Amino acid sequence: MKKDSPVCVELRNVSLNYLSNGQNVHALQDVTLAIRQGEFVAIVGPSGCGKTTILKLVAGLLPPTRGEVLIDGTPIKGPQKNVGMAFQNPILLPWRTALENVLLPLEIVQPHRQEFARNRRQYEEQALHLLHTVGLEGFADRAPYELSGGMQQRVSLCRALIHQPEILLLDEPFAALDAFTREELWGVLQTLWQDRGCTVILVTHDLREAVFLASRVFVMSKRPGRLVQEAHVDLPRPRTLENTFEPAFVGLVHQLYTCIGEVRA
Ligand code: ADP
Ligand code: MG
C-alpha cells in the first residue's frame, strides 16, 4: 500500500442506534475514520462496543442512523458487491466440496453469475489457485467434515476472495481456533493480502494478531463505541512469528493492552 493511495472506506461522523423490542441501543457514537486502498487495518475493543456493526455498515447491510459511510468516495446506499466477508464460524455448506464452497459466491452475486456459467473452468482454476495459496492443495474435493477447523477457515477465506472483492471484512476469523493454527493462519492471511492488494478490515480480540497483520490498529471504547486510539504499526513486512518476540512488536502490543485496560475500566 502506498502512503498516497486514495481513500477506499470512509466513515464520517457515524452514529448507529439499534431499535429492538422498543429498546433503543446506542451502538456507535460519532465514528470518523478513513482507510486507504490496499491498507490493512484492525479494530479492537471490548465486547459489544460495535465492531461487528462497523463491518455491517461498510458492507452496506445497515444504514447509519447519523453520518455517512463512503466507498471510493461514494456514499453507499445498500449491500455492496465488491466486499468479501469471513466470520468466526466458517459456515461451509456441508453437502458441497471445498472447491464448490469457494465457488458459491459466484453462483449468487451478480454480475458474476452469468460469467461463471459461461466460464466455469476458468473460475475453477482461480479457486484452485486460491486453495493452493492457503495451503489446501489436494483438498479441493473434500467435504467440510473431512477438514479441520483451521482448514475450514482457510476455505472460508478463499470463498471471501473468489469474486476478487476490493474490500475484505473479517470478523474475528480465527477466534475459534487453537493458538498454533491461529498463528499459522496469520501468515496465510498476510500472503493473501500481499498477493491481492485488497483493503482489509480485521476485527479481533487478539492484540498480537492485530499488530502482526495491520498497519493501523483502531481501539474502541465501551458502548456506545467511539474511536479512542489509533496505533501505527510501522514494522517491516512480511512479518514472521519470530518478529512477535522482538521488542518493537512486544512494545506495541503492550501499548494496546494498556489502552484497552483503560477503556474497560
Ligand atoms: P461487537 O461486535 O463489538 O461485540 P456489535 O457491533 O455486535 O458489538 O454490537 C454492538 C451493540 O449493539 C451490542 O450491545 C449489541 O448487543 C447491540 N446490537 C447488535 N446488533 C443488534 C440488533 N440487531 N438489535 C439490537 N441490538 C443490537
Ligand atoms: Mg462482534
Determine the distance separating the centroid of ligand 1 and the alpha carbon of 48, expressed in angstroms.
Answer: 6
Q: What is the CATH number of domain 1-82+184-265?
A: 3.40.50.300
Q: What's the whole-number average pLDDT of the chain?
A: 95
Greatest CA separation for the chain: 57
Give the residues across from 25 on adjacent strands. Answer: 18
Q: Whose CA is nearest to atom 22 of ligand 1?
A: 18
**Residue 4: pLDDT band by 50, 70, 90 thresholds?**
confident
Q: Band the pLDDT of 26: cuts 50, 70, 90.
A: very high
Residue 2: the pLDDT is 66
Verify whether ligand 1 is closer than 6 Å to residue 61 (CB atom).
Answer: no
Q: Average pLDDT, stretch 201-221?
A: 97
Q: Any idea which ligand is nearest the CA of 48? A: 1
Q: Establish whether residue 23 lines the binding site of ligand 1, counting it when its CB lies within 6 angstroms of any ligand atom.
A: no
Ligand 1 contact, 55 CB (< 6 A): no
pLDDT category at 112 given cuts 50, 70, 90 is confident
Grid cell digits, residue 90:
466458517
Q: What local confidence, expressed as pLDDT, does residue 64 receive?
A: 97
pLDDT digits (tens, 9 = 90+) for 157-192: 999 999 999 999 999 999 999 999 999 999 999 999
pLDDT at 98: 98
The domain limits of the chain are 1-82+184-265, 88-164
Smallest Cα–Cα separation from 196: which of 138, 135, 126? 126
pLDDT of residue 131: 97
Query: What's the gap in Å between 200 CA and the centre of ligand 2?
Result: 16
Q: Evaluate whether 162 touches 106 at the Cβ level (below 8 Å).
A: yes
Residue 1 pLDDT more than 70? no
Under a CB-based contact definition with an 8 Å cutoff, are residues 32 and 64 in contact? no
Q: Is the CB of 24 under 6 A from ligand 1?
A: no
The answer for residues whose C-beta is within 8 angstroms of residue 233's C-beta and 6 or more apart is 211, 214, 215, 216, 217, 252
> Residue 90 pLDDT more than 80?
yes
Dihedral of the alpha carbons of 248, 217, 178, 99, in degrees to the nearest 10: -120
The finding on whether 27 has its CB within 6 A of some atom of ligand 1 is yes
Judged by its nearest atom, the ligand closest to the C-alpha of residue 171 is: 2
